[in-house]
Amino acid sequence: MQRTSTHLTVVGGGFAGLTAAITAAESGARVTVYEAHHTLGGRARTAQGPYRTNEGPHALYNGGPHWTWLSRRDLIGPLAPLPALEASRLRLHHKGVLRRTPPFGMLRLLRPRRTGGRAPVDVDFLTWATEQAGEEAARAAAHYAAVAVFHHDPGALSAAFVQERLRRATKLPPEAHYPRGGWASVIDRMAARAWNLGVRMETLSRVDCLDDVRGPRPGPVIVATSLDAARRLLRDDSLTWPSGRTALLDLALRTRRGDAFAVSDLDAPGWIERFTAQDRTLAPAGEQLLQGQFPIAPHESRADGVARGEHLLDLGFPGWRDRVTWRREATSNGRTGAVDLPGTSWRDRPAVDRGDGVYLAGDRVAAPGVLSEVSFNSALAAVSLALGRHRRNSLDLKHA
């Protein structure tokens, strides 16, 4: 690898920041990463201790380009497959009871070929889906989509946006895969790869002004933080885009045979999953780790979402209250990725190129994909733009 004179600064050491750092270093740039926390990973951190929780699900979808990119660099590591018996324990909460199968009309919406192809961008999902399969099936499908959109009203979002996430979340064979040990195993491999490429990584280094890290001869900067943090750092009020607000519920229970693997709420947005069904390393022996996410509306509280979660627990995990060994609740606000309203798509989100050698990467900027794929794709776009433009500018200066 040939080094260049380009020095690239990355603000944020999460999935997007590490992707950008590795990609730039592989292209020969000198890279420095600044991370405000004492550990790398951002929202992809895995909690330390006996209960290896993540901030929401930690699934990687193998249908996107990031899967190939990570695989070629051996960064995914061992996967935790879901046993067939556990997969058969998926339950659906519909009309107040648990069921094994979804409403018949909902199946039509899960396969684009049965609905005449792609859903429209400029119509909300509930309206479009009702025309295709009836209102009951449309509402059930919208609520099921919460597993991939983390929004309190998926039916109000762009039909194209929700349909794509439904397709990816229900594809057979499943696209979702779980790195053994949670996100931390992937982040640790990415950090090691960056270190071996010569990336300088400074933790506990909060950046409040870009001038503090660019130096007298500024090179390109990739801001790989949450969009809210980027708005404050760049003092750019235009950096906004809708996201979700979600109650998170983590539980450790003493193991009991017959518990559900996962319960999806079709009566309201929400999902709870027993992650130790595929990865027993996430909790001590004899215990199982459950993580639930319940999107909440602006007028709702975390307690409202948790109450919905406890109702699902009553149905899918009998006697769970007497088996609790650990519990944690949290609220994730604007930290669950972009959602596209009717008439908008990923191209309408805040642009990667912010001018003056500053570029954005993250899960709420203008890049395609599902969940973490948006962070990955925006990171690659940011590096391509940053290095390409910087090198062209350098050549122009040499020949001026």
Domain 83-173+245-333 belongs in CATH node 3.90.660.50: yes
pLDDT per residue over 110-169, tens digit each? 776 655 578 999 999 999 999 999 999 999 999 999 999 999 999 999 999 999 999 888
Q: Where in the chain are all domains bearing CATH 3.90.660.50?
A: 83-173+245-333
Q: Give me the residues paired with residue 273 across strands.
A: 262, 291
Does 400 have pLDDT greater than 70?
A: no
Rounded percentage of the chain residues whose pLDDT exceeds 70? 93
pLDDT at 4: 59
| Per-residue pLDDT at 88 | 93
Considering the chain, tell me which residue range(s) the CATH 3.50.50.60 domain(s) occupy: 7-78+180-241+344-398
Please state, in angstroms and as integers, the Cα–Cα distance from residue 225 to each residue in 19, 164, 202, 248, 361, following that order: 13, 25, 15, 21, 7
| Least confident interval from 76-90, 112-126, 160-174, 212-226 | 112-126
Q: Are 186 and 179 a contacting pair, CB within 8 Å?
A: yes
* Weakest-pLDDT range from 178-187, 212-221, 261-270, 285-294: 212-221
pLDDT category of residue 29 using cuts at 50, 70 and 90: very high
105, two tokens: 């009309």
Mean pLDDT of the chain: 91
Degrees, nearest 5: CA angle 343-228-193: 100
pLDDT value at position 136?
95
pTM check: above 0.85: yes
Lowest-confidence segment of 100-114, 115-129, 188-202 by average pLDDT: 100-114
Q: Which tokens hold the place of 131?
A: 């025309």
Give the pLDDT mean for 350-367.
Answer: 96
The hierarchical CATH code for the domain 7-78+180-241+344-398 is 3.50.50.60
